[in-house]
A and B are shown apart, each in its own frame.
Chain A
Amino acid sequence: MGDSSTSYIHMVQHLIEKCLIFNMTKEECMEALSKHANIKPVITSTVWNELEKENKEFFEAYAQSQSKQDRMSEEETSQMIQKMISDSSNKDPSE
């Protein structure tokens, strides 16, 4: 019983870490996991919070780097990337 919960939590952690690599915020992460992996936002949020407790320094630095980011360029770069991707692949490579 506990084992499946643990592995589920592990999976959610893994997904969150992927989002962290993308420098997403907690809310973005909740949305992405809900949309792409069918994980309830409350679960994502809880695991995120717990991860933050365990890894305070990481999240502090993460928050700092986030605040440093120029969010203005986010959209531009996002569009640029999307364009590039669609140019290159012409289709959605995901399964």
Chain B
Amino acid sequence: MLAVSPLRNTSKDESKGEMESFIINSEEFPDFTDGNLLESIDFDDLFLGIDVEGDVLPDLEMDPEILAELPAVSGGEESDMNTSVEKTDEDDNPKKEEENRVSSSNKENEEIVSQREEPKVVKTPSKDGYKGRKSSTKAKNNNNQGTRKIKVDWTPELHRRFVQAVEQLGVDKAVPSRILEIMGIDCLTRHNIASHLQKYRSHRKHLLAREAEAASWIHRRQIYGGATPVSGGAKRDMNPWIPPTIGFPPMASSASPMHHQNHHFRPLHVWGHPTMDRSLMHLWPKHLAPHTPSPPPRPAWGPPPPADPSFWHHHRVPNGQTPGTPCFPPPLTAAPTRFGAIPVPGIPPHHAMYKADAGIGTIAGQLGHHPLIDFHPSRESIDAAIGDVLSKPWLPLPIGLKPPSTDGVLVELQRKGVPQIPPSCA
């Protein structure tokens, strides 16, 4: 009986299926301390239908056949299986396709043999091996030598595992040899991984650069919008004719799909419209004048909007959503009514506000035509933005970042000596 722990790789969820088979197998495997098992194994049969990609251990019905076929091979199987079990063994059995590993599995076998005592090496699960095998052959069926340089087919599954391994190590720290270890796919050479890694990294940089650029681009735009409290309305105003795909979707979700869809950025850039400048331009006049859908680059601001509650109301109703604010739709539905009453709650002189808007809008207009002028916000605009938040807490979050856990924050604050928030003394 093998003192084999059925859970070889508990850490990897992919191996869960394998674990089952491990458990099943362990009972059925005769003891195999024989180092020459390999010789008795008919590898051709073993390798049939094995798919290196397969993380799942399908075909449990195979077991009887397997068992029947290889009474003596269990040892060999185990070594193969151990090796071929995907991502299971970090310690001694990187997953290897049995085809490739016939030669190397001898070594493995020895290792395994010596490790028999240790529960963590799963020697038995031939089923596993088979399952793993089955999956592996599908992917790379032809390679019996293993380490020969083959053209690697980076299937989505393989790539996923690659990404997992890279992320585990940290993109910058990810070294091909380590990645190879983690992936545990012997079919891949270090060279394969290295070149794939290179591509992946440059791809990521490209993505992040774009995202960052898009983000700062949008933020630049928003600065104008956010410069005055009224701009909140402006932003919303633009929504009716611009699909609310704008805003800053959480980076996490946008990062991955973006690599093949540049136009994802488009909405970010353009507020859903090809010409950002124009859309932005008529943003400002928006709140200054009754909304005009035509996007002429109007440097001259229309007559200040009559501060008409219905105007605000109207424009704010449909959108509940400032771009990129997935978090708080509910308050928005209530917002319109409030907006009606509060065109400029904290800003007594409408005209002053409009002028400020006009000023900022003009600036924005001018700057808007320049790509990404980087500048530091003025004190007034910061103050205005902050004031906006304080006075209108129901406004949706401009970026809509995932909120931190309250407990986490409270604990941290307490560690730093802030017993409660809001603090009783500011």
A interface vs B, CB < 8 Å? 2, 4-11, 13-15, 17-24, 32-33, 36-40, 42-43, 46-47, 49-51, 53-58, 60-62, 64-65, 68-70, 73-78, 80-82, 84-85, 87-95
Contacts and interface: CB of A to CB of B under 8 A. Distances in A.
A80 B370 CA distance: 15
B251 A77 contact: no
Q: State the main secondary structure of chain A at its contact with B.
A: helix
Contact of B208 (A17, A23, A61, A87): A61
A54 B381 contact: no
B380 to A, nearest CB: 6
Given A50-B404, A82-B380, A84-B359, 7 more contacts: A7-B393, A9-B409, A18-B226, A20-B399, A54-B404, A58-B252, A89-B352
Nearest to B216: A65
Interface in B372-426: 373-391, 393, 395, 397-406, 408-410, 412-413, 416-418, 420-423, 426
Contact of B389 (A14, A69, A81): A14
Nearest to B359: A88
Interface string B203-239: 0000011011101100110110010100000000000
B374 A95 contact: no
Contact of A62 (B215, B375, B416, B422): B215
Contacts of A42: 413, 416-418
- Name, among B220, B228, B346, B389, the residue most crowded by chain A CB atoms within 10 Å (CB to CB): B389
B337 interface: no
Given A58-B251, A80-B375, A47 B360 contact: no
Nearest to A72: B374
B152 interface: no
Contacts of A90: 355
A17 B203 CA distance: 28
B359 to A, nearest CB: 2
B280 interface: no
A50 B408 contact: yes
B426 A65 contact: no
A58 to B, nearest CB: 4
- The 8 tightest CB contacts between A and B, nearest first, are A88-B359, A77-B375, A50-B404, A95-B346, A65-B212, A57-B251, A93-B356, A22-B377
Interface residues of B, number: 76
B399 A17 contact: yes
B64 interface: no
B397 to A, nearest CB: 5
Given A84-B363, A88-B358, A19 B382 contact: yes
A5 B424 CA distance: 12
Contacts of B66: none
Given A15-B389, A43-B418, A77-B376, A85 B356 contact: yes
A39 B426 CA distance: 6
A77 B374 contact: yes
Contacts of A37: 386, 389-390
6 contacts: A8-B421, A13-B403, A21-B222, A22-B219, A22-B376, A32-B382
B288 to A, nearest CB: 13
A60 to B, nearest CB: 7
Interface string B349-367: 1001101101110110000
B359 A13 contact: no
B2 interface: no
A47 B352 contact: no
A57 B212 CA distance: 10
A82 to B, nearest CB: 5
B386 A55 contact: no
